[in-house]
Amino acid sequence: MPTIRMKAISSGDTTEVQALVQHPMDSGFVKDASGALIPAHHIETVIFEHNGKTVFTALWGPAVSKDPYLKFSFKGAAKGDTLSATWIDNMGKSDTGTGKIA
């Protein structure tokens, strides 16, 4: 199942992007029911690309919530273009999702 939900809406000049990423974002400071530490497991880098060019980068850490939401806007894209998003976490896992600009 895709872990990235994306909505990108162009209003002529700028494109507004909203995304929801499914990830546990464990901080490494929380204990489970048996008292054992849940190891840190969180996204470190999020990159959005448009036509091979990076338009947005976020460096996330353990303080970001579970299933994070983000919103940004950028210039230079047109309706119908494809936008891709990638996240990489501290365990080396990653996922990439794409969305069409509406």
- Element housing 84 (H / E): strand 82-89
Residues shown for the chain: 102
What are the residues binding another protein (CB under 8 A)? 1, 5, 7, 18, 20, 22, 65-67, 69
Complex with another protein: residue 20 or 76, whichever CB lies closer: 20
Complex with another protein: residue 67 or 82, whichever CB lies closer: 67
Complex with another protein: residue 29 or 52, whichever CB lies closer: 29
Compute the least distance from the CB of residue 41 to another protein, in Å: 15
Q: Which of 25, 16, 26, 28 is nearest to 70 (CA)?
A: 16
Compute the least distance from the CB of residue 18 to another protein, in Å: 6
Compute the least distance from the CB of residue 52 to another protein, in Å: 26
- The torsion defined by the Cα of 6, 11, 14 and 17, in degrees rounded to 10, comes to -10
Identify whether the C-beta of residue 14 lies closer than 8 Å to the C-beta of residue 74: yes
